[in-house]
Amino acid sequence: MTDVQIQTRVNGDIRQNDRTRRMIFSHAAEIACISTFMHLQPGDMIISGKPTVAGAQPNPPQFLKPGDVVEVEGIGTLRNGMVDE
């Protein structure tokens, strides 16, 4: 799996849409590096960043707020709701 489409949405609006082949390090390289200092288990998640700049900093800036829902879709879908600290 060397090239996966990744899309990030906030409340259903697309904020990022790119492919993993554009990332600096491949998944294999990240796993090889991380495996040198920790034991990975099935289901572990590796958070590695994004392929490109998120819309080149929208103007005006768009910040997440309580109640927003962020979804990242690629191999599966990761969905998180924002809450106030």
- State the pTM of this model: 0.70
How far is residue 40's CA from residue 18's CA, in Å, rounded to a whole number?
26
How far is residue 39's CA from residue 30's CA, in Å, rounded to a whole number?
13
User: For 19-70, how does the pLDDT look when each residue is reduced to its tens digit (9 = 90+)?
Assistant: 888 888 888 898 999 999 999 999 888 887 766 655 556 778 788 899 999 9
14 forms beta bridges with: 9
- What ranges do the domains of the chain cover? 5-81
Tokens of 79: 């969905």
Torsion over CA of 45, 6, 70 and 9, rounded to 10 degrees?
Answer: 180
Name the CATH topology of 5-81. Fumarylacetoacetate hydrolase; domain 2 (3.90.850)
